[in-house]
Amino acid sequence: MQAFGTLESPFTDAYLVWLLDYHGFVDIQRNHMVNGLIPVEREAEPVANFIQLHAAGNNLVLARKPG
């Protein structure tokens, strides 16, 4: 935060995916954020109906380091 003057990541998702891969992370996955209670009457709807933060433009990336 101090170096870049922001609370958000200043890096593009493509750079983060490259960086994680370069450092040996696997199962790198970009994600949408869906949070909240979904009524059972709406359970057949696509996830897209409930996205709060879209993966495009947000650095919602998960990865794991093997071993």
Give yes or no for residue 58 having a pLDDT over 70.
Answer: yes
> Considering the domain boundaries, does residue 4 fall inside one?
no
Q: How far is the C-alpha of 44 from the C-alpha of 62, rounded, in Å?
A: 26
Q: How far is the C-alpha of 39 from the C-alpha of 31, rounded, in Å?
A: 22
Number of folded domains that form the chain? 1
Give yes or no for residue 1 having a pLDDT over 70.
Answer: no
Mean pLDDT of the chain: 86
> Considering the domain boundaries, does residue 48 fall inside one?
yes
> Considering the domain boundaries, does residue 19 fall inside one?
yes
Q: What is the pTM of this model?
A: 0.64
> Considering the domain boundaries, does residue 5 fall inside one?
no
* Paired residues of 11 in beta bridges: none
> Considering the domain boundaries, does residue 7 fall inside one?
no
Six-digit token string for 35: 């949070």
At 25 the pLDDT is: 97
pLDDT in tens, 25-50: 999 998 888 888 889 999 999 988 88
Q: How many CA atoms lie within 13 A of 51 on its CB side?
A: 12
